[in-house]
């Protein structure tokens, strides 16, 4: 598990619920480093994003213990124990702690790597993280050259933790981030023999494919997942929260077990709602969506 943060010279990270400074080069570094990652954040950090919306192209996991809270596109975990239970099948290297202050402090001992953007100025912060230079287990692995943005100098520093605490990741669901990449279209075979049940399952897959975690997953559902014998991946699939191209193939095989017949249909993200709402036969769908 890794941590990524931008700090001022006092290890301040935020003020009045917002960042101290937004450096475009640092934003780019954040986007590239966390591409296709599983992000862990506190509820205040989610609320600090534009419109309180999760970051696209990534799995967003949010810590919040208010009963019944859910946020579209996110998984809510009610405690660190619940978070670790939910993450148990993931790959440690895919998981990034992205703030804010309270979450960095709780998860720092479990991180093996920290990507720190050091900004050489005092932002008069009200939220801080511990000074890694003062912690014996943390040491600098690399540092970029000093850069400058609007008169403020900054550099990218990578720290390594020599004794991280274990989360117990198994890595069994190591492709979890692949469900969250941005998708433009899906192609699949629409069988000749169809039923309402097939169409319902197909529509649920299309929704989950283009809009993973639609409606959000509450911490009560996370608890249900942890208490079941299912992996997070299997649980989220069963709930219609995530889908992959392989799930469309499996659905075809389920309804056309002899693997014969059907039309290839291509559904774009823009036309997904139109496809879901259409009540046409296979020929007509193939004509409209091929
Ligand atoms: N510089 C950077 O790179 C960076 C990055 C991210 C954020 N930030 C800044 O950091 C500030 C936000 O930090 P923050 O400390 O105020 O908020 P935060 O850590 O983002 O979120 C705190 C929220 O998460 C919940 N939470 C935390 N740990 C929990 C746990 N173990 N179980 C259940 N819920 C938990 C808290 O619930 P309870 O209140 O019930 O405990 C609270 O609602 C903002 O200014 C933001 O801009 C800076």
Angle of CA points 41, 42, 47, to nearest 5°: 100
**Tens-place pLDDT, residues 176-212:** 999 999 999 999 998 887 788 999 999 999 999 999 9
Q: Is 18 in the pocket of ligand 1 (CB under 6 A)?
A: yes
As a whole number of angstroms, the distance between CA 72 and CA 95 comes to 20
Ranges of each domain in the chain? 2-161, 183-211+243-288
Give the pLDDT of residue 285.
80
pLDDT of residue 133: 97
Burial (Cβ within 10 Å: 0-12, 13-18, ≥19) of residue 50: exposed
Q: What is the DSSP string of 208-231?
A: HHHSTTTT-B-HHHHHHHHHSSS-
* Ligand 1 near 17 CB (within 6 A): yes
**Phi, psi (5° rounding) for residue 120?**
-90, 70
Q: What is the pLDDT of residue 54?
A: 97
Q: How far is the CA of 76 from the centre of ligand 1 (A)?
A: 13
pLDDT band at 288 (very low <50, low <70, confident <90, very high): confident
What homologous superfamily is domain 2-161 in, according to CATH?
Dihydrofolate Reductase, subunit A (3.40.430.10)
Give residue-wise pLDDT tens across range 77-114: 999 999 999 999 999 999 999 999 999 999 999 999 99
Residues in CB range of 219: below 8 A, 6 or more apart: 64, 65, 69, 76, 77, 78, 82
Average pLDDT over residues 154-164: 98
User: What percentage of the chain exceeds 90 in pLDDT?
Assistant: 86
Please report the pLDDT score of residue 77 as a whole number: 98
pLDDT band at 229 (very low <50, low <70, confident <90, very high): confident
Quick one: average pLDDT of 215-228? 96
Overall size of the chain counted in residues: 290
Q: Is 102 in the pocket of ligand 1 (CB under 6 A)?
A: yes
- Give the sign of the dihedral formed by CA 45, CA 217, CA 67, CA 50: positive
Which helix (H) or strand (E) element contains residue 248?
A: helix 245-255
Is the C-beta atom of 6 inside 6 A of ligand 1?
yes
Spatial separation of the C-alpha atoms in residues 42 and 58, rounded to whole Å: 16
pLDDT exceeds 90 at position 27: yes
Residue pointed to by tokens 């036969």: 281
């Amino acid at each position: 598990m890794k941590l990524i943060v931008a700090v001022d010279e006092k290890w301040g990270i935020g003020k009045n619920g917002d960042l101290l400074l937004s450096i475009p080069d640092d934003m780019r570094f954040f986007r590239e480093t966390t591409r296709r990652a599983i992000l862990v954040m506190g509820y205040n950090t989610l609320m600090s994003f534009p419109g309180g919306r999760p970051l696209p192209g990534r799995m967003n996991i949010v810590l919040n213990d208010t009963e019944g809270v859910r946020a579209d596109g996110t998984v809510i975990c009610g405690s660190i124990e619940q978070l670790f239970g939910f993450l148990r099948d993931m790959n440690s290297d895919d998981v990034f702690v992205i703030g804010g202050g309270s979450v960095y402090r709780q998860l720092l001992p479990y991180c093996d790597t920290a990507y720190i953007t050091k900004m050489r100025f005092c932002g008069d912060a009200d939220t801080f993280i511990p000074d890694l230079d003062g912690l014996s287990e943390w040491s600098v692995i690399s540092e970029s050259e000093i850069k400058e943005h609007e008169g403020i100098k900054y550099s990218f520093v990578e720290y390594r933790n020599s004794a991280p605490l274990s989360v117990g990741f198994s890595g069994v669901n190591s492709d979890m981030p692949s469900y969250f990449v941005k998708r433009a279209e899906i192609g699949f075979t629409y069988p000749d023999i169809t039923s309402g049940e097939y169409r319902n399952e197909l529509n649920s897959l299309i929704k989950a494919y283009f809009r993973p975690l639609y409606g959000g997953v509450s911490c009560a559902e996370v608890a249900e997942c942890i208490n079941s014998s299912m992996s997070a991946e299997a649980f989220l699939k069963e709930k219609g929260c995530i889908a992959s191209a392989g799930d469309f193939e499996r659905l075809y095989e389920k309804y056309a077990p002899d693997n014969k017949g059907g039309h290839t249909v291509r559904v774009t993200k823009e036309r997904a709602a139109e496809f879901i709402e259409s009540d046409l036969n296979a020929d007509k769908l193939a004509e409209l969506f091929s």
